[in-house]
Amino acid sequence: MESVLLEIVIIICLVLVNGFFAAAEISLVSARRTRLRALANKGEANAKRVLQLQEDPGKFLATVQVAITLMGMLAGVLGGATVIEELETRLAAPISGATKTIAIALVALAISFLSLLFGELLPKMLALQHSERFAMQVARPVQWFYLATLPAVKLLTASSRAILKLFGFREEAKAPFVTEEEIKLLVSEGSRLGIFEKVEEMMIHSVFQFADTPVKKAMTPRTDIVAIEAGMPRERLLQFVAEEGYSRIPVYKEDLDHIVGIIHTKDIINLLLNAELVILEDILRPPYFVPESKKVRELLSDFQRKQIHMAIVLDEYGGTAGLITLEDIIEEIVGEIQDEYDAEREEILRLEGERSAVSARIRLEKFNSAFGASLPTEEYETLGGFLIDHLGRIPSVEENISYGGFEFTVKEKRGHRLLTLEVEKKK
């Protein structure tokens, strides 16, 4: 009877050791590197061990498989031989015939049940729920076992790679631990579960879009540029700056393709207070030119490095395509910023019937979405810019323009800039 109990204890121990390595495998694979790095930075030695193991997953996976296979082989060799004999003896009285077969089946079922429950399912479920904690607890034993079984692990790893190579599978460079799309999905799921606010989700998505956004997509188009002509009298200059309300304004000679500098409204005070500064050119700051294909993230770095807030955007021919400010870049991430000098203006105001008053600066994507239109968005940013390019000139007030099933009427403009349009869908 003592030998039967000893054999049962040994089998249970083997099942539990199997469960330990099953939990080790799952926890080491699923432990979050970000959490582990944070713990490692705080001096947690076991977190550093886990990160080392994760750097070469093939190594610890082979180690774990050697351990699990070894436990399975030992359980198979023991196989409950003594238990089977004892059970066969006890079954011989009430059951005649194939008592040994029944005893073997019962022992096999019992060992399989214990192995699945305590050697696989429960350990893996617990390891998944507390992956970082489990991983840090098993990291050192897994490293010890790796060193103890190093020849077998190396043989298995080399054999696996050789077989994969034989069938044409090449070992590729390590993929990123997490991709951009996975982060977006995680953030969206977090927003759905209430972990993130909706605005936080939108900002995180905007950050990823921001990385690939060209300057052309974020700039103020040429037709909407507010600029000062060089040589403007001081009195008119002060009135112009006060009316427009911008802190920085480009200065040009002849036309917008010849921008010679940027004027800061603070510098105008010097112009007014110092008699020796008699012309506008005395207070100009040099303009910074960028191609429209430049990425917004690169321009932001330029702004930080050069300590500037505005750049003039050039088209492929060297002409002025638009301008972009630091505020424009920030708005690509956080959305529209309305300061105390910005006039509050609805971009779309529904009128009677099928008519609507629409800002000429509305983005074409937003216009298409609101009106079910299909105006081209690849080459144009705003509705006003598209209509000017479509006509090939600056339309006059009350001029009608027909395109794509819509009638556009210019209602308000300032200089060369269209401000408000009336839009009516044709029947």
What pLDDT is attached to residue 270? 67
What is the per-residue pLDDT for 174?
54
Q: Outline which parts of the chain fall under CATH 3.30.465.10.
A: 348-425
Q: Check residue 350 and give its pLDDT.
A: 84
CA distance 413 to 56: 65
Residue 97 pLDDT exceeds 60: no
* 215-334 has CATH 3.10.580.10 classification: yes
- The more confident residue out of 134 and 183 is 134
Q: Residue 243 pLDDT > 90, yes or no?
A: no
Among the listed residues 311, 286, 285, the one whose alpha carbon sits nearest the alpha carbon of residue 296: 311
Contact in structure between 220 and 243 (CB atoms under 8 Å): no
Task: Say which CATH topology domain 348-425 has.
Answer: 3.30.465
Reported confidence tier of residue 100, pLDDT bands at 50, 70, 90: low
pLDDT of residue 274: 63
- To the nearest 10°, report the CA torsion of 40, 44, 45, 46: -90
Of the ranges 83-92, 100-109, 117-126, which is most confident?
A: 117-126
Q: How is residue 150 written in tokens?
A: 């190093």
Mean pLDDT of the chain: 79
- Of 209-213, 358-362, 404-408, 417-421, where does mean pLDDT reach its minimum? 209-213
Quick: pLDDT tens for 388-401. Answer: 888 888 888 899 98
Contact between residue 111 and residue 80 where contact means Cβ atoms under 8 Å apart: yes
Enumerate the CATH 3.10.580.10 domain ranges in the chain, comma separated.
215-334
| Cβ atoms of residues 288 and 302 within 8 Å | yes
Supply the pLDDT for residue 426. Answer: 80
pLDDT above 90: residue 38: no
User: Does 267 score more than 60 pLDDT?
Assistant: yes
What pLDDT score does 271 carry? Answer: 63
Give the pLDDT mean for 189-207. 77
Three-class DSSP category at 253: coil
pLDDT of 197:
79
Note if the pTM is more than 0.75.
no
Q: Does residue 84 have a pLDDT over 70?
A: no
For residue 289, pLDDT over 60 is answered with yes
pLDDT for position 166: 81
pLDDT exceeds 60 at position 95: no
